[in-house]
Chain A
Amino acid sequence: MANTETMTLNMGPQHPSTHGVLRLVVELDGEVIQSITPHIGYLHRGVEKLSEHRTYHQTLPLTDRLDYLAPMHNNLGYVLAVEKLLDLEVPERAQTIRVIMAELTRIMSHLVWLACHALDIGAMTVFIYCFREREEIMNIYEKISGARMTTNYFRIGGLSKDVYEGFEADVRKIIDTFPGFFDQYEGLLTKNTIWLNRTIGNGVISAEDAIDYGITGPALRGSGVDWDLRRDNPYSGYEKYSFKVPVGEKCDTFDRYKVRLIEMREAVKILRQALDSLKPGPILADDPQVCYPPKEAVYNTIEGLIHHFKIASEGFPAPEGEIYLGVENPKGELGYYIVSDGGTKPYRMKIRSPSFVNLQSMEKMCKGAMIADLIAVIGTLDIVLGEIDR
């Protein structure tokens, strides 16, 4: 009997497929995985601590940098949590535009997921195709907020500014063209035997285990749990739109892939409904205590300037209390837990980031599988290190 030893392989933080700076210490027997220990923290910026020293408005740009592939969603979760704390009513137009941007962001985030997932498994063309389409959405971002990734577009109480002229046409173009692109990806992957071989039966996690691990988002729905915050705990007017929540059956990578692809198609449906229901109106809540004055007032009147200065420098006091609000981020439930002591800054803010929670199921999914399976699992979990490390 030969004497065998396991090999410890240090994967990352620099590795083509660890999606940023994830470091995995993998115990290998040949190519078979015995155990995985994720090491995180290479991208830690202390967002939660920083927010304790910033007014509620000033924390907003930090949230862009959590899941930098879905910036609008992070903004959305944060502003919704603060608005709930303040009990602030947001105008309908602002809510609808928020939904449009959130669903565009969902498509964008899923495109990057599909691109990287496919590239990790070796399908290079899908990668380039997805980034080609992502460009369209980034262009809308740029026109609407001035930035392509760290958008910082939403404001507590509404939006920083109204949409640009031609916004509707741009979104309509996406609604019309994107389903065809999704068909292209499916043509390259769903009907490809190699892709099926690589994804079916890979990274299986049962519904009970998924719930026990606290997995949320498409990874949870891929395991057959029918749970989507947009439908089950609606926010920002999601209850007005009709959309399907796809669920998987076999709990494997292929089901999670299908769930995300259907989600992209459903997002297009939501976009169409939201755009049809978009009516003119105010885009910021009428609460001078909280919201910035319009720019014309700031530049042209002394009262407006004083108002702006007061909110920018001092901020606004939030009522004492604590609040938790979760939104359905493309990656799972993104929750903001804010404790207020009545001051203008949060006493404590805790971010429940979906990637962080989903990551812990990796060992469960990979034990006994091979290195190539681990790569597929990293892809299917759709982690973003900016969010894991915060």
Chain B
Amino acid sequence: MSNATLDIILLLAKIALVFFVILTMAAYLVLAERRILAWIQDRKGPNRVGPQGLLQPLADVIKMLTKEDVRPAGADKWLFYLAPAMAAIPAILTFAVIPFGAPVILFGRELPLVISDLNVGLLFFMALSSIAVYGVAIGGWASNSKYALLGSIRGLAQLISYELSMGLSLVPAVMLSRSFRLSDIVNAQAHVPFIVYQPLAFIIFLISIAAECKRIPFDLPEAEGELVAGFHTEYSGMRFGLFFVGEYINVIVLGGLAASFFLGGWHGPWLPAPVWFIVKVLAFAVFFIWMRGTLPRLRYDQLMHFGWKVLTPLALINILVTGWWLMLR
């Protein structure tokens, strides 16, 4: 077997593994969310399918796959069918640049535990998260429903304004590690994670990714009490499922990014690197679930004010302070 073939096989195996792990994690995150929320709210949650409800995600998938795929009259056919994929694919693609462990030696060659260690990994992630907005916007617009339209307008406004503060809060991490490559950023935190130097940037990033993955208190695009289900009101079956799973994949991916940028990625004592990485990702996921169990929803204009008038200026000031600090050091 030539070297090139082995490389390709290893790469494909890695992609398949990551793909499988992410999808499984997303499915079980849904279950975990329902169980943890139930625990917070003093009820039982799904515990009937399989031991402790562990087969519930499978049952959900079967249900969604066998449901009728309804397209409302007057909907834009192609865009309506395309939108769920546009929401889910960027979320999965983003994971390509996240390193989830130290390089391992396999078949006598060094194998980095990241699918593609781009030298502009951070920019790649920013670009993809912008593209993910199109899924929301097009899905809502193509549905030919006023609730969906309002939801997608809210989604656009929200994601654009929070993208800005998210990007700005990552600048200090780039300044500290002097690289856009995620593995460099992670390795720069081998001893001290950036959260120690950049607590403010971490908080801004955390709030921004909560808005990015449309979780309470930022779930305005799908605000159930107001817009029925927001941009995916008209979707049913697996198309709705794609939006839904896409959101949970987003939670995992953004949790992975937060871990990589501020918590030292896969670095950690005693445990193997991928385990540390997963623990950190799950910590973010649990935090989001906890937030959903505690907080009410913001109003549209309050959300925008918070993004533009509080988070963005704070992030800018933080960059300035970091710059001075780096210069004086």
The answer to whether A and B interact is yes
Query: Which chain B positions have C-beta within 8 A of A373?
Result: 299
Query: Which of B41, B225, B295, B298: most chain A Cβ within 10 A?
Result: B225
Which residues of chain B (35-73) have a CB below 8 Å from chain A?
37, 40-43
* A123 part of interface (Cβ distance < 8 Å): yes
Q: Does B292 contact A (CB under 8 A)?
A: yes
Binary contact track B283-305/A, C-beta < 8 Å → 1, others 0:
00000000011111111111000
3 shortest interchain CB distances as A-B pairs: A122-B297, A128-B41, A123-B296
For B41, give the chain A residue with the smallest CB separation. Answer: A128
Query: Is B227 part of the binding interface, using a Cβ–Cβ cutoff of 8 Å?
Result: yes
C-alpha gap A119/B298 in the complex (Å): 13
CB 8 Å contact bits of B103-132 with A (1 = contact, 0 = none): 000000000000000000000000000000
Query: In whole angstroms, how far apart are the Cα atoms of A192 and B296 in the complex?
Result: 8
Write the residues of chain A forming the contact surface with B, with a CB cutoff of 8 angstroms. Answer: 7, 9-10, 15-17, 31, 118-125, 128-129, 132, 188-189, 192, 194-195, 197-198, 370-373, 375
Contact B225 A124 (CB under 8 A): no
Identify which of B9-17, B158-166, B216-224 touches chain A.
B216-224
Nearest A residue (CB) for B298: A194
The residue on A at minimum CB distance from B224 is: A16
Q: Is A118 a contact of B42 with CB atoms below 8 Å?
A: no
Instruction: From the candidates B43, B227, B294, B297, name the one contacting A121 in the complex (CB within 8 A).
Output: B297
B6 at the interface (CB under 8 A from A): no
Q: Which residues of B are interface residues toward A (Cβ below 8 A)?
A: 37, 40-43, 146-147, 150, 154, 216-217, 219, 223-228, 292-302
For A375, list chain B residues within 8 Å (CB).
225-226
Given the complex of chains A and B, what is the CA–CA distance between A119 and B295 in angstroms?
10
Q: Given A129, A194, A371, which contacts B295 in the complex, CB threshold below 8 Å? A: A194
- A189→B296 contact, CB < 8 A: yes
> Does A118 contact B226, Cβ atoms closer than 8 Å?
no
Using known A-B contacts A124-B293, A128-B41, A188-B294, determine if residue A15 contacts B300 with beta carbons closer than 8 Å.
no
Q: Report the minimum CB–CB distance from B238 to chain A (whole Å).
A: 23
Check if B225 sits within 8 Å of A17, measured CB to CB. Answer: yes
Q: Does B225 lie within 8 Å of A132, measured CB to CB?
A: no
What is the bound-complex CA distance between A373 and B227, given in angstroms? 12
Taking the closest CB of chain B, its distance from the CB of A347, in whole angstroms, is: 44
A379 and chain B: residue at smallest CB distance: B225
Distance (Å) between the CB of B226 and the closest chain A CB?
5
Partner of B225, one of A10, A121, A128, A189: A121
Known: A16-B225, A371-B150. 12 other contacts (CB 8 A): A16-B228, A17-B225, A119-B225, A120-B225, A123-B296, A124-B216, A128-B43, A189-B296, A197-B298, A197-B302, A372-B223, A372-B300
Contacts of B228 in A (CB 8 A): 15-16
CA distance A254 to B42 in the complex (A): 27
With contact pairs A197-B302, A198-B298, A198-B299 given, residues A132 and B42 touching in the complex (Cβ less than 8 Å): yes
Question: Main SS of the interface on chain B?
Answer: helix
Cα A65 to Cα B150 in complex, Å, equals: 36
Across-interface contacts of A124 in B (CB, < 8 A):
37, 41, 216, 292-293
Known contacts A9-B146, A371-B227, A372-B226: A125-B299 contact under CB 8 Å? no
What is the CA–CA distance of A150 and B97 in the complex, to the nearest angstrom?
60
Contact B41–A125 (Cβ < 8 Å): yes
Q: How far is the CA of A121 from the CA of B225 in the complex (A)?
A: 7
Residues B146 and A371 in contact, CB atoms below 8 Å apart = no
A189 to chain B: which residues have CB within 8 Å?
A: 296
Tell me if A125 and B302 are in contact (CB < 8 A).
no
Q: How far is the CA of A195 from the CA of B224 in the complex (A)?
A: 17
CB distance from A21 to the nearest CB of B (A): 15
Complex CA distance for A129 and B228, rounded to whole angstroms:
23
Contacts of B150 in A (CB 8 A): 9, 31, 371
Q: How far is the CA of A370 from the CA of B219 in the complex (A)?
A: 16
Task: Give the CA-CA distance A15 to B299 in the complex, in Å.
Answer: 19
16 contacts across the A-B interface (CB closer than 8 A) = A15-B228, A16-B224, A118-B296, A119-B225, A121-B225, A122-B295, A129-B41, A194-B295, A194-B296, A198-B297, A198-B298, A198-B302, A370-B301, A371-B227, A371-B300, A372-B299
User: Which residues of B lie under 8 Å from residue A16 when comparing CB positions?
Assistant: 224-225, 228
Give the residues in chain B near A132, CB-CB below 8 Å: 42
Q: Chain B residues near A17: list those with CB within 8 A.
A: 225-226
Q: How far is the CB of B204 from chain A (nearest CB, A)?
A: 17
Contact of B217 among A7, A31, A194 (CB under 8 A): A194
List chain A residues, Cβ under 8 A from B37.
124
CB distance from A191 to the nearest CB of B (A): 11
- Complex CA gap A194/B207 in Å reads 14
B299 contacts across to A, CB distance below 8 A: 197-198, 370, 372-373
Of A10, A31, A195, A370, which one neighbours B296 at CB under 8 angstroms? Answer: A195
Tell me the smallest distance from the CB of A243 to a CB of chain B, in Å: 30
**Which A residues touch B147, using CB under 8 A?**
9
Q: Which listed residue (B43, B216, B301) contacts A122, Cβ 8 A?
A: B216
Residues of A within 8 A of B292 (CB): 124
Residues of B within 8 A of A198 (CB): 296-299, 302
Distance (whole angstroms) from the CB of B236 to the closest CB of chain A: 16
| Contact partners of A122 in chain B: CB under 8 A | 216-217, 219, 223, 225, 295-297
The residue in A124, A192, A370 that gathers the most chain B C-beta atoms within 10 A of its C-beta is A124
A31 and B42 alpha carbons, distance in the complex (Å): 36
- B residues in contact with A118, CB < 8 Å: 296
Look across to chain A and name the residue whose beta carbon is closest to the beta carbon of B306.
A197
List, in ascending order, chain B residues with CB within 8 A of A192's CB: 295-296
**Complex contact A194–B42 (CB within 8 A):** no
How far apart sit A370 and B303, CA to CA, in the bound complex (Å)? Answer: 13
CA A16 – CA B229 in complex, angstroms?
A: 9
